[in-house]
Amino acid sequence: MLNLDWFQPYEGTIHSISVIYAAICNLPRDIRFKRENLLTLGLLPGPNEVSLHKINHYLAPIVDELEFLWDRITLNRTYECQRGKYIRATLILVSCDVPAARKICGHVSALVSCHRCEKKANYENRQHNFAGMDDLEEWFYTRSSTEHRQHALNWRRCKSDASRKRMVKQTGVRWSELLRLQYFDPIRFIIIDLMHCLFLGIARWIVKRIWIEEGILASKILKKIQKKMDKF
């Protein structure tokens, strides 16, 4: 599971550093995220955040290693396997906050459109927003991973920054080095941003402000939902 995030290491000055690291999902959950079990894959030194597709310069050597792991490598002798052991490994999740996930997987900003479905933002008063639910039935058409790859390849073939900007405006896609992994799905492999959606209360705000106060969820339905939640 791959993660990318930026942080400020100093007080009193703006200097943004990023770390690309991975967790091994085969490990039990209680030890999976201990410091000694995390893999530091790359450091982005700053002082500013790497912009958009330029993150590919840092991803490229990581993807090279992931390709080796996908093809199978041989471990030297271990305690349990005295004759050595063949292993394979794959990247199955990208677990970042929304802006980082968009950069690392080649999607346009979350302010413009959803990366999983065909829902696009309105553009009013020089701002993008997702207000209104009149077109609700049009939201739930899942984006195509094959189509995303083709758009990304077309973006990479562009000969100028201007043509690339036009391509992003039309398709919402940029090239990501992760697409070199034949099994990688840029739509399904990005998980929900739990920190912002749950821990900071965004999901609660959506349920209360939109679904309840606008009458989409009635009291009777809420009680059914609560019964299901209690089972968890």
Domain ranges of the chain: 2-106+176-200
Rounded to an integer, the average pLDDT of 77-97 is 88
Quote the tokens at residue 137: 């039935």
Condensed to tens digits (0 to 9), the pLDDT of residues 137-191 reads: 777 788 999 999 999 999 999 999 999 999 999 999 999 999 999 999 999 999 8
| pTM for the whole structure | 0.80
**What does the alpha-carbon distance between residue 216 and residue 128 come to, in Å, rounded to a whole number?**
24
- Strands 127-129, 2-7: pairing kind: unpaired
CA-based nearest residue to 20, from 116, 105, 89, 114? 105
Find where tokens 């199955």 sit.
Answer: 92
